[in-house]
Amino acid sequence: MHFKIPTLFIINLLASGVTSHGWIKRLKLNGAAYTVFPEVKTPDWTAPAINITRQIGYDGPVLDILSTNITCNARAVPIADNGVSRTGTITAGSNFEIYWESWPHSGPIVTYMARCEPDCGSFLGSEGKVWFKIDEFGFEDSWATQKLYNQKYWWNVTVPECIPDGEYLIRHEIIALSECKTVGKCQFYPSCTQIKVIGGRDRGPAESELVSFPGAYGKTDKGILWDTNTQDPKDYVVPGPEVWKCPS
């Protein structure tokens, strides 16, 4: 036998048959810690959001990428206190730090933002082209999820330094590739957090650079229809638009 089994395949094997998947437990923005789900084995997925991340409804994947479930997950609802959006403040150009519950699958990690109109307490994010991609990691020596594991389940995403101040959703997502060889079976694990950006500039994306959710992903797109057992990870292309960069 000449082939060597990459460690990620081993992680995949361990994961098969596991019923619970993973979710974001904590966030750190401008040094402040936010609890997303309590430190219990099976959080109550139907409970209202405890802080600034919208509830996800359950820990399973979203499969129906043409439905509004792909926007912020199955039971996501805007979070507001007496009509006022609940947000976490973050300075443009600084890191949005995410801590996942242990994660059992292999695949890319992708993050998008959308300006909340008029504010995050009333904005769904599922209508029209409002999203821009701020970060992606597919495969470079290892899958993003292996890197996540190596970083003890912490992941950093930099909020672009040039975007206008105001309220935004951050849509952070892991895509689990193990079933993506079958059309409609690729597994998406998105969730959305309500933030208020300060210290930015007025150089956000143009309307023509925005995409919609649902809409940005198609069932047979590169990186969504993908056979992880036969395709070379080095050829993997993260789905969706290019990462948006501040104009120079």
Ligand X SMILES: *[C@@H]1O[C@H](CO)[C@@H](O)[C@H](O)[C@H]1NC(C)=O
Per the CB < 8 A criterion, the answer to whether 157 and 172 are in contact is yes
Site string for ligand X, 1-20 (x = CB under 6 A): --------------------
Judged by CB, which is closer to ligand X: 122, or 151? 151
* Rounded Cα gap, residues 234 and 231, in angstroms: 9
Query: Does 21 contact Cu ion by CB under 5 A?
Result: yes
Query: Does 45 contact ligand X by CB under 6 A?
Result: no
User: How many Cβ atoms are within 10 Å of 122's Cβ, its own excluded?
Assistant: 12
Q: Which stretch binds Cu ion (CB under 5 A): 17-25, 37-45, 64-72, 127-135?
A: 17-25
Judged by CB, which is closer to Cu ion: 21, or 172? 21
* Rounded Cα gap, residues 224 and 231, in angstroms: 12
Query: Does 30 contact ligand X by CB under 6 A?
Result: no
φ, ψ dihedrals at 96, nearest 5°: -95, 115
126 binds, among Cu ion, ligand X, none (CB under 5 to 8 A by kind): none
φ, ψ dihedrals at 190, nearest 5°: -90, 155
Judged by CB, which is closer to ligand X: 38, or 164? 38
Q: Which of 95, 181, 209, 214 binds ligand X (CB under 6 A)?
A: 95
Q: Which stretch binds ligand X (CB under 6 A): 67-75, 127-135, 161-169, 218-226?
A: 67-75
* Rounded Cα gap, residues 137 and 144, in angstroms: 6
Segment holding 9, helix H or strand E: helix 7-15
Query: Does 25 contact Cu ion by CB under 5 A?
Result: no
User: How many Cβ atoms are within 10 Å of 36's Cβ, its own excluded?
Assistant: 24
* Amino acid at position 192, single letter: C
φ, ψ dihedrals at 7, nearest 5°: -55, -30
Taking CB under 6 A as the criterion, which residues in 188-247 touch ligand X?
Answer: none
Query: Does 97 contact ligand X by CB under 6 A?
Result: yes
Binding residues for ligand X (CB under 6 A): 32-34, 50-51, 64, 67-69, 74, 95, 97, 151, 154, 156
